[in-house]
Amino acid sequence: MEPIDIHAGETVSWVGFAFNTLMFSAQLPLMRAMLRDKDAASRSRYSFWPALGQFATTCFWLGYAICVLPAPSIIAINSLGIGLALVYCGVFIACRPSAREKLVVAGAFAIVAASAVLLYALAFGLRYSNARLVASIVTIIVNVSLWATPLQALRLSALERSLQRVSVPLTLCQAGAA
């Protein structure tokens, strides 16, 4: 078996960093639109699932990069992704008109963060013999689920026949990255 070319792998990782930076920041125009939207009922219909999916994916990948495959590029991009997702979370909380809706958004983000920390802390803290395998499988499942997160917003968009609450840049970035 050929040895792994570490330098080529790092180069590919930094190219991935560039593409992921575009994808993770693609929701910024949607956040700006939501902040400008004066209609409370309309603001309630903006889907936070893509931001939550980004947060979940980046939390689990950061754990993976710290515990399984330490790589500066993976740590850097997922730290950036977490930071942007937390900004998006804050915008969703600020724009939700009711306390219940704000709590749902905050609670969903808290559950995701706790799940990632719990998985990696238990698997690696207890020195579970298959920790790498379990962490890898869960991270891959979470990562694959990221690609489905825009579907709720796209479904609503089709029903309303409006792209007002859809992050078109995110959808295009995800299609390109896939």
Residue 121 has pLDDT above 90, yes or no: no
Residue 4 has pLDDT above 70, yes or no: no
Inter-CA distances, 51 with 57, 66, 103, 132, Å? 10, 22, 16, 27
Q: Is 128 helix (H, G, I), strand (E, B) or coil?
A: coil
Average pLDDT for 127-145: 79
**Percentage of the chain with pLDDT > 70?**
84
R_g (Cα) of the chain, nearest Å:
18
Q: How far is CA 58 from the centre of its chain?
A: 5
pTM above threshold 0.75: yes
What 117-121 contacts at long range (C-beta under 8 Å, 24+ apart), as own/partner pairs, is 117/59, 117/63, 119/60, 119/63, 120/63, 120/66, 120/67
The rounded distance, in Å, linking the Cα atoms of 6 and 116 is 27
Question: Which segments within 74-148 are labelled E, that is strand?
Answer: none
Q: Decide if 116 contacts 63 (C-beta within 8 A).
A: yes
More confident residue, 28 or 153: 28
* φ, ψ of residue 66 in degrees (nearest 5): -80, -45
Residue 99 has pLDDT above 60, yes or no: yes
**Percentage of the chain with pLDDT > 90?**
38
